[in-house]
Structure 1
């Protein structure tokens, strides 16, 4: 039946040590071929006889393989810090890739998949890329280009490796560059297909793109370093858009130390992703001028169990947004900034928070304020909650702390004796209705208890009252926003200033 399948040439110049080449070849052997007919073309540039023998063995056990020796003897160095390229090596590899392109055209393949020999693939990667119907599309992978830095994708938006949006002539501060950079990074951590300005190393090219003339030849009047830059600029000049897919990230063995994670990728990764994908936990939060309060501590705990965050910045004038982006680095974060606060009409603010959150297509929504932190152990305990299918609304007890170690309990302050909803499974087809009041409208729509609910023994610590200064600020705010106590309890408002409340020491 192969005559009805798309013919794909998988091509790779190979100059690789055996420890990395072995899992690379194993990864290629796992590629699914339900809709495609895969052939291989390796250019053997190894100076290691064992590596060349591995390619030969692969050829003997796998059909449709062509291997050519480069007949060259260049030295390519790499260590735990970086890879050491020079201009000669770059354009030698460019020549290899162009040779593979020519072979693909001569043999009339439908697609060429170019891959570096230190990458590992999910089995469905090539078929998935073909389904995007794009002429040039890469599968994303993430690399710590320098030790002890955050991993970055191999794709970019413009120039040599600019990973933030910037219009021609637009002047940006370093702070704005960082913010836009994080927006781009966080976007790529979500499954999707995105247009980019540059890509490489793990790329599917259609025959249509090859026939238009894309290749890796040096553009003589361009000083950008690296053959991929010249390829991408040539593609753009030919009118071919570039895309990155993020559904099946590849694994990059950039350093020998990365070999420790090969087995995990090859045997466990797909299962873990599927489990996580069914129970995506989205943190939803409203913040305003939280820089000197509890935000960083709270987010440091939350990041251990959330999958993404949607944060409404309600008119902050401090470094609140920077704290969110820095503390949740590596997790998709969606910041929505209000130039003017909406808190005076809380239902408007909560509706905005809800709408922005459900745009992310969450499975579960955890709605917390910036001064609320779960007790120790919740990170492991929440997994069981997310995996159960019986209940859609989970209620917890909230303890109002009056200092760092004690919570308040008296006739006015006993929220912890009641279970309140903080975690809700989102249902697209449910008709959510809000309590239309300017204050105390609730964090969630008022009719969520039409869904099946349960209680949890995990406790939530609230530090919003934990200092005298904060209590005084809140008291003044309530008196200003609700002077007639239409939305709250007058006696409770007054009790905020009680000098000798009943306090109980917290124990875990």
Structure 2
């Protein structure tokens, strides 16, 4: 069974080499919509696509991603409509599946009765050796998350401009037959590169209210605990190679 990966992109030059190496190892088709990158992301994708013809890049006509002119549900549903695979996987550019995905999931798909697949989400915080986890009143970190679904079942994104969620054809996506696969999806947004983007601090978790400067990872705003634990797992090989190339062994940020 075939897999289509869909991804919106905006200025992801740090993560794209990792993402592209990872998803092209298992995806039959990769659909990307760029929302106005100015950091060389488009050129990176085009260069990679020159040797990987299963990558399709579209440039958004809506305006810069995540501004008021950008409608995230429209963008994501456009990619859903273009997808030809039997399964659709939503994987953001700063996310990499565990290596077990490639060796396990494609062969497993024909045996599944489920229409949606959930995976454990591992969110790194300030470096690639620290994980942010659930805390009271802050239940959005390191949860199981739906990131694959069967194509042709009417599963689409709700009409929301930002942070849109999935819905089923006749109701909530959580009511559809589902299965949890114990294969982590690692979120490296807060571990590498700038570790912070403009308008990325709506909850005030790193004390940068003007969206400028370097993140203050020690800041505690008092509304809820930012709970951290050491990372006890193993990074995917593409990430290990990146860290070695950047001499990040023992790196403390």
Q: Same fold (TM over 0.5)?
A: yes
* Distance 1:438-1:358 versus aligned 2 partners, 3 A rule: closer
Q: 1:388 to 1:342 in 2, by over 3 A?
A: same
Q: 2:148 aligns with which of 417, 420, 423?
A: 423
Question: Who is 1:383 aligned against?
Answer: 106
Residues in 1 aligned to 2:35 and 2:74: alpha-carbon distance in whole angstroms = 13
Q: 1:409 aligns with which of 129, 133, 137?
A: 133
1:192-211 correspondence to structure 2 within 5 Å? none
Superposed, which structure 2 residues align to 1:264-413 within 5 Å? 279-291=1-13, 293-328=14-49, 329-339=51-61, 340-344=63-67, 348-402=71-125, 403-409=127-133, 411=135, 412=138
For 1:461-476, what aligned pairs fall within 5 Å after superposition?
A: 461-466=186-191, 469-471=194-196, 473=197, 476=199
Q: Partners in 2 of 1:325 and 1:386 — Cα distance?
A: 30
Shift of 1:504: 1.3
SS of 2:182 mapped into structure 1: strand
Of 209, 218, 221, 1:499 maps to 218
TM-aligned CA deviation for residue 408 of structure 1: 1.9
CA contact (8 A) 1:393 1:451 kept: yes
Asked whether the 8 Å contact 1:396–1:458 carries over to 2, the reply is yes
**2:73, 2:162 within 8 Å by CA — same for their partners in 1?**
no
The structure with the largest helix share of the pair is 1
TM-score (norm 2): 0.73
1:473-501, Cα deviation, whole Å (9 max, x unpaired): 35x3453xxxxxxxxxxxxx123444165
Tell me the distance in 2 between the aligned counterparts of 1:434 and 1:410. Answer: 25
Shift of 1:439: 2.7
- Preserved contact between residue 307 and residue 331 of structure 1 (Cα < 8 Å): no
1:89-147 alpha-carbon deviations (Å, 9 max, x no partner): xxxxxxxxxxxxxxxxxxxxxxxxxxxxxxxxxxxxxxxxxxxxxxxxxxxxxxxxxxx
* Structure 1 residues 12-91: aligned runs within 5 Å: none
Moved more, 371-380 or 319-328: 319-328
Retained in 2: the 8 A contact 1:310–1:357? no
Q: Counterpart of 2:241? A: none
Match of 1:453 in 2: 178
Helix, strand or coil at the partner of 2:67 = helix
Task: Give the unaligned 5+ runs of structure 1.
Answer: 1-278, 480-492
Tell me the CA shift for residue 345 of structure 1: 5.1
Structure 2 counterpart SS, 1:334 = strand
For the Cα contact (< 8 Å) 1:374–1:458, is it kept in 2? yes
User: What is the TM-score with the length of structure 1 in the denominator?
Assistant: 0.38
TM-aligned CA deviation for residue 407 of structure 1: 1.5
Contact 2:88/2:151 (CA < 8 Å) preserved in 1? yes
**1:108-123 equivalent positions in 2, closer than 5 A:** none
Q: Is the 8 A contact 2:87 2:150 kept in 1?
A: yes
Change (3 A) 1:445 1:413: closer
- Give CA deviations for 1:160-203 in whole Å, capped at 9, x if unaligned: xxxxxxxxxxxxxxxxxxxxxxxxxxxxxxxxxxxxxxxxxxxx
| TM-fit CA distance, 1:356 | 3.0
| More relative contact order, 1 or 2 (CA 8 Å, 6+ apart) | 2
Q: How many residues are paired up?
A: 210
Is the 2:80–2:156 contact (alpha carbons within 8 Å) kept by the matching residues of 1? no
| Contact 1:346/1:437, CA 8 A, preserved across alignment | no
Report the CA distance between 1:375 and its aligned residue.
1.5
- Decide which structure has the larger Cα Rg and report it: 1
